[in-house]
């Protein structure tokens, strides 16, 4: 067994892609084998040059690489060159100790690219001018149950939560008190749910379960682990459904943003497919 030692630094208490070095091109990258350990790495590596880690054990076949999460490049963990996380590449920021100081997490937004037209993108930013509120039951012609919105920047005590992580613009949607959320339509209308961005509010590896139905028949189902420190792009591509539920294996809160969805009358019949 070959052990490779690298002069790298960890990102204690920082979010994915937060600046961690005097080199502004460096940011925090969370390791795939640990939920709460991130390393400071150079972000200028070309995405097409990164290969996926082994799915069973998050290992890298190529020497001198480490398995990290890099959602700007890939949904799955990728192997990253050790030379790109060395302190010579990313010198640490000098910390100055002072008295009577308060540490507040930097609210840097990690923007995740989505293939979604503006007309189909729901950002939850125009529902209310208040810091928080409930999504109206008839919002954009659909029925919403247990969907709440929050401008997380108005609540400093959430600054270390995963609510900041999912945020792509002003507001996020979340399941208040860990309740099951539902979106549904009335006949003859159905909707297509293409993708969304999600993160766990407080619990790492929170399992989010999504079940899409039409006429009470399961049209698609999926389960994704959610994390507090990096956003998860979930691509469902559920077509012609009339309801979808979002629930968790534990009654815990999670955040959603940039819901990509379209509504139309049912004109075609497609056989259901279940994805896991």
pLDDT in tens, 198-209: 999 998 889 999
Q: Is residue 107 part of a domain?
A: no
Which among 31, 144, 19 is positioned nearest to 82, based on CA atoms?
31
Range of the domain at 216: 118-265
Same domain, 123 and 224: yes
Q: Residue 105: which pLDDT band, with cuts at 50, 70 and 90?
A: very low
Same domain, 85 and 162: no
Same domain, 255 and 132: yes
Q: Is residue 39 part of a domain?
A: yes
Same domain, 130 and 248: yes
pLDDT in tens, 23-65: 888 999 998 887 778 899 999 888 888 999 998 888 888 888 8
Same domain, 124 and 253: yes
Q: Is residue 102 part of a domain?
A: no
Looking up tokens 């990253």 gives 80
Are 232 and 201 in contact, with CB atoms under 8 Å apart?
Answer: no
Same domain, 84 and 146: no
- Is the pLDDT at 136 greater than 50, yes or no? yes
Same domain, 37 and 69: yes
Same domain, 134 and 244: yes
Where a domain ends, among 78, 94, 110? 94
**What integer pLDDT is reported at residue 268 of this predicted model?**
53
Same domain, 56 and 150: no
Number of independent structural domains in the chain: 2
Q: Is residue 105 part of a domain?
A: no
Q: Is residue 111 part of a domain?
A: no
Q: Is residue 82 part of a domain?
A: yes
Same domain, 130 and 8: no
Same domain, 132 and 237: yes
Same domain, 11 and 75: yes
Which of the residue ranges 62-76, 107-121, 248-262 would you say has the lowest mean pLDDT?
Answer: 107-121
Q: Is residue 138 part of a domain?
A: yes
CATH of the domain at 231: 2.60.120.1350
């Amino acid at each position: 067994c070959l052990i490779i030692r690298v002069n790298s630094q960890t990102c204690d208490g920082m979010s994915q892609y937060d600046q961690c070095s005097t080199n502004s091109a460096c940011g925090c990258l969370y390791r795939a084998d640990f939920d709460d350990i991130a390393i400071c790495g150079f972000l200028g590596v070309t995405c097409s040059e990164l290969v996926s880690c082994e799915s069973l054990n998050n290992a890298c076949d190529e020497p001198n690489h480490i398995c990290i999460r890099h959602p700007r490049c890939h949904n799955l963990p990728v192997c990253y060159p050790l030379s790109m996380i060395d302190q010579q590449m990313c010198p640490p920021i000098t910390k100055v100790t002072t008295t009577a100081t308060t540490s507040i997490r930097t609210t840097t937004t990690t923007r995740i690219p989505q293939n979604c037209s503006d007309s189909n993108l729901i950002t939850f930013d125009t529902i209310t001018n208040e810091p928080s509120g409930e999504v109206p039951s008839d919002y954009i012609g659909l029925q919403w149950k247990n969907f709440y919105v929050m401008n997380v920047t108005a609540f400093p005590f959430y600054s270390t939560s995963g609510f900041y992580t999912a945020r792509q613009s002003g507001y996020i949607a979340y399941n208040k008190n860990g309740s099951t959320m539902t979106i549904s339509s009335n006949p003859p209308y159905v909707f297509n749910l293409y993708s969304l961005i999600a993160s766990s509010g407080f619990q790492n590896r929170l399992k989010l379960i999504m079940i899409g139905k039409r006429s009470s028949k399961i049209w698609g189902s999926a389960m994704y682990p959610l994390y507090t420190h990096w956003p998860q792009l979930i691509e469902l591509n559920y077509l012609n459904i009339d309801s979808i539920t979002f629930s968790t294996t534990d009654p815990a809160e999670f955040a959603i943003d940039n819901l990509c969805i379209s509504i139309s009358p049912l004109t075609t019949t497609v056989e259901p497919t279940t994805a896991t």
